[in-house]
Amino acid sequence: MSEGSGGRPPAFGQVVIGPPGSGKTTYCHAMREFLARVGRRVSVVNLDPANEALPCPCELDIAQLVTLPDVMGSLGLGPNGGLLYCMEYLETNVDWLQERLEGLKGHYVLFDCPGQVELYTHHSSLKNVFAHLAKWNFRLAAVHLVDSHYCTDPGKFISVLCTSLSTMLHVELPHVNVLSKMDLIEQYGKLAFNLDYYTEVLDLSYLVDHLASDPFFRNYRRLNEKLVEVIEDYSLVSFVPLNVQDKESMRQVMQAVDKANGYSFGDQEHRSLEALMSAAVGADFHFSSTLAVQEKYVQSQDKAVEEEVMDL
């Protein structure tokens, strides 16, 4: 594989994005431990100036450059405006980031990003930082985390699909959408459809029909139909289910990301033919993983029904 500009060898990594509370920091540190077990040298870079309580040390922290409390205090900005200013400040001082990343040569890098949705749908600063990383020969994939509890609410799930599509189009990186906290999904309520309906984003007309049964959403059927048409016309959005406590689930996400950023076909690891083939047919593994999660979910639902029957 050829070296990039300035003679820097290719570096691989993930930019971990998503709404607040979707589990980005938890994912970064769980993925760090998982990748370290398979022999990769992994570093975590915190790009969230509001992330003050990091569960584990990071090799590089944006707090060394700027923090949200300092910006809010000195400029009189609120949390949202302050966070946008921090990202613009990072973009202006991108040389600071480049200099410190030089110390992480040979590392697989996980970039833990802020949770403000606007940064990934229409604001340009973080997108431009990603573009700089690409110029420095980083081969990145965007890992977009979405809390799985949105699957239990059809209206919210349509909103998540629109946000995911907008993020994919704006960020302009190879993209992997992830439904996080799958181990908690049974606590959120019963799904209207099988889990693969949500992960593969199948015929969304059923979702519109399901919404129409609600008197509130019935008045907005035409709007929902048009939103669904936009999502289906692009045909880009699908999800990988994730439970960070399940090694098999982590492996599925790792394979999806490795395919997206090209790591599977690089020379950083000596891989067997079997490993390469598993990456080439990742969709089959993704399907198997979804079936496994669906089976656990169905079993938990069946158990709940049995307990209700026993109580009667």
Place of tokens 């809390």: 147
Average pLDDT value for residue range 59-80:
94
Query: pTM, whole model, 2 decimals?
Result: 0.83
pLDDT digits (tens, 9 = 90+) for 83-133: 999 999 999 999 999 999 999 999 999 999 999 999 999 999 999 999 999
Give the pLDDT confidence score for residue 160 in this predicted structure. 92
Is residue 236 within 8 A of residue 142, CB to CB? The reply is: no
Length of the chain: 312
What is the spatial distance between Cα 131 and Cα 241, in angstroms, rounded to a whole number?
28
Higher confidence at residue 35 or residue 277?
Answer: 35
Residue 139 clears pLDDT 70, i.e. is over it? yes
| Domain coordinates in residue numbering, the chain | 11-199+237-276+284-304, 202-236
H or E element in which residue 211 lies: helix 205-212
For residue 285, pLDDT over 50 is answered with no
Which superfamily, per CATH, for 11-199+237-276+284-304?
P-loop containing nucleotide triphosphate hydrolases (3.40.50.300)
Q: What is the pLDDT of residue 182?
A: 87
Is it the case that residue 3 has pLDDT exceeding 50?
Answer: no
Distance CA 135, CA 150 (A): 36
User: Per-residue pLDDT tens for 237-253?
Assistant: 999 999 998 999 999 99
